[in-house]
Amino acid sequence: MESILYELWQGRMNPQERRVEYDQESRKLLRLIEKNHERLCESLNEQQIEIFEKYKDSVTELSDFTEFELFKYAFQLGGKMTVETLIK
């Protein structure tokens, strides 16, 4: 097997493509979110929907930033654990 770094470099490994397998409880929560989103949008006028869509875009942008920061932290933590293991 090639090194993980080489696999990443060659594009054979793409962590963003990993799909999350939701359990029953998570799927139930997703359905509830969708249902409430639909109900909310049905109750809004066009201007309110536009504002709400901008709000959702901002929340998504913040979520993406937070996920990246967590990824960086986890990657650094994994590196530190590896170094510590090799030193001892």
| Tens of pLDDT, residues 65-75 | 998 899 889 98
Does some domain include residue 29? yes
Does some domain include residue 5? no
| Distance in angstroms (rounded) separating the CA atoms of residues 88 and 85 | 6
Q: What is the pLDDT of residue 2?
A: 65
Number of structural domains in the chain: 1
Task: For residue 60, give its domain range.
Answer: 24-87
Does some domain include residue 54? yes
For 66, how many CA atoms within 13 A lie in the half-sphere containing its CB?
6
| Distance in angstroms (rounded) separating the CA atoms of residues 52 and 49 | 5
> What mean pLDDT do residues 31-52 have?
96
Residue 49 pLDDT grade (very low, low, confident, very high; cuts 50, 70, 90): very high
| Distance in angstroms (rounded) separating the CA atoms of residues 80 and 73 | 10
| 11 DSSP assignment | T
pTM: 0.65
Is it the case that residue 4 has pLDDT exceeding 80? Answer: no
Tokens for 53, please give them. 């869509």
Residue 45 pLDDT grade (very low, low, confident, very high; cuts 50, 70, 90): very high
